[in-house]
Structure 1
Amino acid sequence: MPDRSSSQSSPSSQRSAPALRRGLKVLGTLLITLSAISPASSVFIIAPGVVGQAGSGAFWSFVVAAVVGVFMAFVYAELASAYPLSGGEYAIVARTLGRLPGFVTLGLLLVTQLLIIAVIALGVGTYLEVLFPGLNGPVVAAVATAGATVLAVFDIKLNAWITGIFLVIELAALAVVSALGLLDPARPLGELLTEPVNAAGPVSFGVITAAAAVAIFSYNGYGSAVYFGEETTDAHRGIARAILWALAITVCAELVPVTAVLLGAPSLPELFAADNMMSHFVAGRAGSAVNTVVSLAVALAILNAVLAIILITSRMVFSTGRDTAWPGTVSRALAAIHPGTGTPWVATVATGVFATALCFADKDFLLVVTATSIVAVYAALCLAVLAGRRNGTTAHAAYRMPWFPVAPVLALGALAYVVWTNFLDPVVGRPSLAITAGIGVVAALYYALVVRRRGTWVLKGPEDPAPADTAPR
């Protein structure tokens, strides 16, 4: 039954809600989204973990992950075309599944998004060390985050241009890696497809699918386009296109260089044993000078990702203020929009301050906290798109996925497998699942004991989306 409580938003409250400036075309949204995914960072930082587990079978791991990505991109595109809101996933879940699931999703995202900025920023020093040995990683990360925060306060169109330029450099570096392997392969593609091996010998399908759980996260981020829905023209149609294009480009930008490395590495055992697989490959095939240039491009890609994720996270923080999720003074401050740049400047600064401070936290702790939260968010979105079709809350969506409900059902099955593989990992996976559950419980308690009793959580958005407050309790 629709929620008609005191927190229901009226047309007048919708009109008076702080509104972001629509200054982005779909291309600008796509550039920022791809920058947040950061294909180069995924290839150089996440892909080695997949290769270390599945060996040359990593090719199939990335293919399986791409199939799961297609399922989730369909889910994101349909939901985002119905609710292209700056609150992103929490705003969608709250309107389709209900307020409690929406607030739990908000809790998970709020914690993990801030931590993810620090996790990514800590990679900057690693790749700058090729020129400046002995850098203090946390200090470099903090400086990078603070600088990105300053840029993020400026006009969104300017940031789209900045991220776009950095993205071109990033993709050029991946093109170099791809060329080094594909133009002079050390083994045929057929060997990669039919005889996958890792350091221990032949690789089973089970190992390949287990490694796919990691590869899924290397593609993650294509759904982030929804956070710019209130700043993109024709968002109901454009955001769905941006999501689908972001996935397609990401898969190509990551799968091709990973395949090139596996084909072009002179010795697979040496590749698997290297501390930094990708740098080992580039240095071995092209020399230290090219490796230095590529490493600097990766450092730039990480900086670009930090900027893009601050832009994304600050939109969500802004939305929480506009929805009055916090005490009045805090909510009003977070919902403030700069009169000159049209950006949520207080939310952006708050995001940057917290993320900068988190750069000095233990990196292993950051990884454990963030490792599995996206699984819970993905699952909530799959349930949201199923519920939206059933209860009509997404009936106005401009995009409808093909073959419904195949995508959300199969995606839920894949996510269940990811949860199981993480449960079997006592070092990172199992503690991360426990922390994810703990964050969800704390968010649920805050909603039940504070937000619901106060009765002021109002789901707001700009004037043009369909009425926001139609979600069941």
Structure 2
Amino acid sequence: MGNLRTQLLRRRPAAELVAETGVDSDTGELSRTLGVFQLSMIGVGATIGTGIFFVLSEAVPKAGPAVVWSFVLAAVVAGLTAVCYAELASAVPVSGSAYTYAYTTLGELAAMVVAACLLLEYGVSASAVAVGWSQYLNQLLDNVFGVRIPQALAAAPEAGGWVNVPAVVLVALCALLLVRGTAESARANAAMVLVKLAVLVLFVVVGVRGWNADHLAHFAPYGVAGIYGAAGVIFFSFVGLDNVATAGEEVKNPRRTMPLAIMIALAVVTLVYVAVALVAVAAQERSKFDGQEAGLAAILQDIVGSTWPGTVLAAGAIISIFSVTLTALYSQTRILFAMSRDGLLPPVFRRVNPRTLTPVRNTVIVASAAAVLAGFLPIEFLAEMTSIGTLVAFIVVSIGVVVLRRTEPDLPRGFRVPGYPVTPMLSVLGCLVIITSLRPVTILAAVLWTGAALVWYFAWSIRHSRLARERR
């Protein structure tokens, strides 16, 4: 029993892992091509997805115009976690994100559980947002050309179709970009992020024309409880900042670049969200938000008296979904790469193409699985599976900061959590509070998925683990 406990708690020392991956010497298996701007755009691109285009229809009925404070509250909780990620990313700047941080602080079993949660977050979320792509693509095609993709080829069987072809095509396009190389993918992502930021800025600039102070008169009609309730809905619009931490081995000067990129991404996302929310609630009476479809487009159309805002925002949503799918697939492949290097998965996920320095087979496997999910499952089922994995990863990262401060206090850190140890504890508390608001079926699904991952661990990984081989 004691030997099993030792196996489950065995850790990879952070200093050893950093030295092995060539963080301080710019040598390693992956190519270091990402700078501050490109890495920040990965964080922004992964975070600003479809959520901001629709979340107001759910959040405003709960909080009224005070939804602006709900965004701020959600940003604070996300910020507490972001600074924890920033410290660990600067101390252990390697691929794997929360999985690697768990391995270096809490041990192998905890790392496997976190890996399962991250695979749920990135893999399923990539499929979920890809499913929504066909809806916006149809809206754009209808507005511009007056044609639509037939329902049979634009929806999953349970949604009245045969297969969601646009979703499969989107995943394939993202995979092709990732196979070509990290630098090319990062440049394409940065361009797409700038476009969707421009669309949201357009909403703010045009929406200000409809500003009506009377709409803000009863600012918090549902009190603090309404603000808190809406923050729980809004929080998941901030999920994605952790994607930055998956790129540790492809970043130039990672100890400085990674925490800086996380902070920049958080600031940009918060500023955009608060500005969009404030303009939206000032331009439209709160009663109209409940159940409103394509809310941002509807607000602009009422202000300008034309349908062109719907076309522009549909194009922005298409680009936004492409960017989110790209970064989610990228993060998924890097988690699997790190797990394969540690011996918890077969070697195929670690093999890197000598020309592009990207894990091509890994990318093809991930994209194939995501394409099947996106093509044949409805978005409602996929979306429900993503939230809990993210929150568990956030909790582990916050605890990891405390553990690593104790176990390896002399490890170089390019950034330190302000207000330690209160800040990481507040982050854990904030995530636990939000978990309690999730539906029981979501929690049950996550438990079953984690159980399947543990079966794999005890059947295969525990014997093939790199640490197990080194002990033998």
TM value normalised by structure 1: 0.86
**Distance (whole Å) between structure 1 residues aligned to residue 21 and residue 100 of structure 2:** 18
The equivalent residue for 1:19 is 29
Match in the other structure for 1:187 = 213
Partner of 1:465: none
Match of 2:391 in 1: 375
CA displacement 1:192-248 (0-9 Å, x = unmatched): xx622xxxxx21211221221121110111121111110111101210111111111
Amino acid paired to 1:56:
P
Alignment equivalent of 1:129, drawn from 124, 138, 142: 138
Q: Select 1:28's aligned residue among 11, 32, 38.
A: 38
Deviations 1:352-381 (A, max 9, x none): 111111102132221222232211111111
**Residue of 383, 391, 404 corresponding to 2:420:** 404
Quote the Cα distance in structure 2 between the aligned partners of 1:412 and 1:459.
Answer: 31
The amino acid across from 1:161 in the alignment is R
Q: Which runs of 4+ in 1 moved over 4 A?
A: 1-11, 15-18
CA distance in 2, matches of 1:456, 1:25: 33
- Bigger shift: residues 384-393 or 401-410: 384-393
Query: Comparing 146-155 with 135-144, which one deviates more in the overlay?
Result: 135-144
Q: How does 1:182-261 map to 2 (within 5 A)?
A: 182-187=208-213, 191=217, 195-196=219-220, 202-261=221-280
Structure 1 residue 439, shift from structure 2 partner:
2.4
- Matched with 2:103 is 94
- Please identify, of 283-292 and 232-241, the stretch whose mean Cα deviation from structure 2 is larger: 283-292
- Of 345, 352, 355, the residue aligned with 2:367 is 352
CA distance in 1, matches of 2:392, 2:122: 14
Amino acid of the structure 2 residue aligned with 1:348: T
Shift of 1:83: 1.2
Unaligned 5+ segments in structure 2 are 143-147, 156-163
Compute the displacement of 1:117 (Å). 0.4
2:181 to 148, 155, 159: 155
* AA in 1 matched with 2:133: V
> Is residue 324 of structure 1 aligned with residue 324 of structure 2?
no
Structure 2 distance, partners of 1:314, 1:46, is 29
In structure 2, relative to structure 1, the CA distance for the partners of 1:2 and 1:244 (3 Å cut) is farther
List per-residue Cα deviations over 1:224-274 (Å, max 9, x = no partner).
111111011110121011111111111112221121111112x33223342
**What amino acid sits opposite 2:373 in the alignment?**
L
Tell me the CA shift for residue 2 of structure 1: 9.2
- 1:242-281 aligned within 5 A: 242-265=261-284, 267-281=285-299
Q: Residues of 2 paired with 1:47 and 1:177: CA distance?
A: 14
**Per the alignment, do residues 59 and 239 of structure 1 end up closer, same or farther by CA in structure 2, a change over 3 Å counting?**
same
In 2: Cα distance, 1:280 partner to 1:190 partner = 19
Distance verdict in 2 for CA 1:444–1:182, change over 3 Å: same
2:378 corresponds to which residue? Answer: 362
State the identity %. 23
1:239 and 1:189, CA in 2 relative to 1: closer, same or farther beyond 3 A?
farther
Question: Is the Cα–Cα contact under 8 Å of residues 23 and 156 in structure 1 kept in the other structure?
Answer: yes
Is the 2:94–2:247 Cα contact (8 Å) retained in structure 1? yes
**TM-score in terms of structure 2 length:** 0.86
Secondary structure in 2 matching 1:20: coil
1:56 corresponds to: 65
The answer to whether the 8 A contact 1:124-1:140 is kept is: yes
For 1:42, which of 43, 46, 51 is the aligned residue? 51
Q: Counterparts in 2 of 1:76-91, with a 5 A limit?
A: 76-91=85-100
Partner residue in 2 for 1:146? 172
Taking the aligned partners of 1:394 and 1:125, their CA distance within structure 2 comes to 51
Distance 1:65 1:75 in 2: 16
- Contact 1:91 / 1:459 at 8 angstroms: preserved in 2? no
Give, in angstroms, the shift of residue 391 of structure 1: 2.1
Q: 2:408 — aligned with what?
A: 392
Separation of aligned partners in 1, 2:10 and 2:421: 34
Residue by residue over 1:49-101, the C-alpha shift from the partner in whole angstroms, topping out at 9 and shown as x without a partner, is 22243332321110100111211111100111111121111011111111111
Cα shift at 1:318: 1.7
Residue type of the alignment partner of 2:297: S
Query: Structure 1 stretches of 5 or more lacking a match?
Result: 197-201, 423-428, 461-468
SS in 2 for 1:122: helix
Offset of residue 110 of structure 1? 1.5
CA positional deviation for 1:42: 2.4
Between 1:26-35 and 1:346-355, the stretch displaced more is 26-35
- Root-mean-square deviation (CA, aligned residues, Å) is 2.8
SS of the counterpart of 1:372? helix
Larger CA deviation: 234-243 vs 41-50: 41-50
**2:313 is the counterpart of 1:294:** yes
The one-letter code matched in structure 1 to 2:48 is: S
- Residue 314 of structure 2 aligns to a residue in which SS? helix
Per the alignment, residue 301 of structure 2 pairs with 283
Residue in 2 aligned with 1:450? 460
1:293 to partner: Cα distance: 1.6
Q: Deviations over 1:10-65 (max 9, x none)?
A: 89x947997101111121111222111125x2210334322243332321110100
Q: In structure 1, what is the equivalent of residue 431 of structure 2? A: 415
Offset at residue 336 of structure 1 (A): 1.3
